[in-house]
Structure 1
Amino acid sequence: MKESFNIPIIFQDEQLIAVEKPVDLPVHKNDFMPHDAPYLTKLLGEITQKWVYNVHRLDSKTSGVIVLAFSSEMAKELTLQFERKEVQKTYFAIVQGNPGEGKFESKVLVKKKSKFKKPAVTNFKTLQTVQTDISYKEKENVQLSLVEIQPETGRWHQIRQHFTQNHFDILGDTHHGDFTLNKIITEKTGVKRLFLHAGQLKIKHPALEEELTFSSDLPKEFQQVLRHFQT
């Protein structure tokens, strides 16, 4: 049985569409997927009955706001905004520890199984921290923090790499994160996902020349985990 995805539409006109991408849904097709696997551009094409063009990246495991275009010309215009760093992106994550507020500026890998690194900048601010009863290895009563993140660059897994490099692993990160903690969190809360969510995106509409802000609420799983350890 195929998995079905609910894709809430935030904004739509003749030129572009902004939606809330569900967790675990790829944006576009890749060579490793079954031929009939669902992906965002395909599903939105079926919903809108239009050709849908990808504009920017959002990992399969990351949920939240993404904008797509209905023409190659509009896609090019929007992509240029991302390349020129004219777009403001805000993410939310639950991480191990309490990173406080600041900026990560270390280089990150450009892709999987690569040794080549490029400069990257990630701004962050801790919004809430909860104390848990989780202790393992040399760690005792691990803290978990809800963090607001604004990346200035858009490298591969940039946010995930930066937080892991600085020992503030994002919960549920099965590629870079703390596998033992991930397992414990799932056992205690019943939630299994990457705790990284694209919460807001600010762009300029190329045709209307208006500033647009698209927002997506924090997923219920985030609140579920934080509440579990507040009691």
Structure 2
Amino acid sequence: MLLSDRVLFLDGEALVIDKPAGLPVDAPRDGSLSLENHLDLLKFGFKRWPLPVHRLDRDTSGCLLLARNPKAHGRFTRAFESREVEKQYLAIVDGVPDADGGTIDLPLAKVSTAETGWRMVGDPKGKPSVSHWEKLAVVGERSLLRFRPETGRTHQLRVHALEGLGFPLVGDPVYGRGGTKTRTLLHAERLVVKRDVKPSIIAEAPFPDAFVALGFAAPEGAEPTRG
């Protein structure tokens, strides 16, 4: 797997890759491979490694923004913090919502126990978390949804799907129903970052093969499936 073959956007200060599912952004404690092991091939003529601006879960595929210099990293980080970044995700859930779309406004908080470890839960006293969603397709008892999160809380879409819609993401080992061999079916489909002088960063990741394997087709206007 060469991440240099998965570049969606590249200029003097920004790089967006289509992160494959299964590759963690941060180095795992067990010493297994992570994004860091691939950064040398993503320099593209620069002396320094590009730095990830945000995080995607290990299982989540799709658009991941990296900055090619420290000043750009600071600007992009502030853009994420001030909610100036347009993020769009595709997900397959274990169920069929009655509505065709809506908004989930569910604050999230972290809970932890010695037995089960930590997870995020809906909590009125938690951090504000808002996600807009629409239903794109239904195959059997599963649905393809598009999420547009306003905020970027840890596990936000996974918990909003479960507690806000009543249906977990297919394959989710923490919030899901178990019994499936697939990965968590969440994909960062599109990323837009506006810039003051330069044109906006716009990246779209191809529709994942894992979604096709469950009978879903790329939505109209989406990038074709990655072969």
Provide TM-score, normalisation by structure 2.
0.81
Question: Which structure is higher in helix share?
Answer: 1
Cα-to-partner distance string for 1:166-194 (whole Å, 9 max, x where unaligned)? 321100100111114xx2xx4xxxxx211
Q: Bigger CA drift: 110-119 or 79-88?
A: 110-119
Partner of 2:215: 226
Cα-to-partner distance string for 1:183-229 (whole Å, 9 max, x where unaligned)? 2xx4xxxxx211000000001246x432221001110110110259x
What CA distance in whole angstroms lies between the structure 2 residues aligned with 1:68 and 1:107? 28
Change (3 A) 1:67 1:111: farther
What CA distance in whole angstroms lies between the structure 1 residues aligned with 2:24 and 2:176? 20
Partner of 2:75: 77
The unaligned stretches of length 5 or more in structure 2 are: 113-117, 218-227
What CA distance in whole angstroms lies between the structure 2 residues aligned with 1:74 and 1:68? 9
C-alpha RMSD over aligned residues: 2.2
What CA distance in whole angstroms lies between the structure 2 residues aligned with 1:157 and 1:222? 20
**Is the contact made by 1:97 and 1:145 (CA closer than 8 Å) also made in structure 2?**
yes
* Partner AA of 2:174 in structure 1: H
Of residues 189, 194, 198 in structure 2, which corresponds to 1:199? 189
Partner of 2:168: 169
Partner of 1:33: 30
Partner of 1:44: 39
2:49 partner SS: coil
Partner of 1:23: 21
2:201 partner SS: strand
Partner of 2:224: none
Q: Percent identity?
A: 30
What CA distance in whole angstroms lies between the structure 2 residues aligned with 1:89 and 1:227? 21
2:215 partner SS: helix
What CA distance in whole angstroms lies between the structure 2 residues aligned with 1:98 and 1:29? 36
Q: Bigger CA drift: 149-158 or 39-48?
A: 39-48
Q: Figure out how many residues of one structure are paired with residues of the other and give that number.
A: 201
**Is the contact made by 1:41 and 1:53 (CA closer than 8 Å) also made in structure 2?**
no
Provide TM-score, normalisation by structure 1.
0.79
What CA distance in whole angstroms lies between the structure 1 residues aligned with 2:206 and 2:42? 22
What CA distance in whole angstroms lies between the structure 2 residues aligned with 1:98 and 1:148? 13
Change (3 A) 1:5 1:46: closer
Partner of 2:109: 109
Partner of 2:142: 144
* Partner AA of 1:169 in structure 2: P
Equivalences for residues 45-64 of structure 1 within 5 A:
45-48=40-43, 50-64=48-62
Matched, 1:213 2:174: no
Equivalences for residues 4-23 of structure 1 within 5 A:
4=1, 6=3, 8-23=6-21
* Partner AA of 1:123 in structure 2: H
What CA distance in whole angstroms lies between the structure 2 residues aligned with 1:23 and 1:5? 13
What CA distance in whole angstroms lies between the structure 2 residues aligned with 1:17 and 1:227? 29
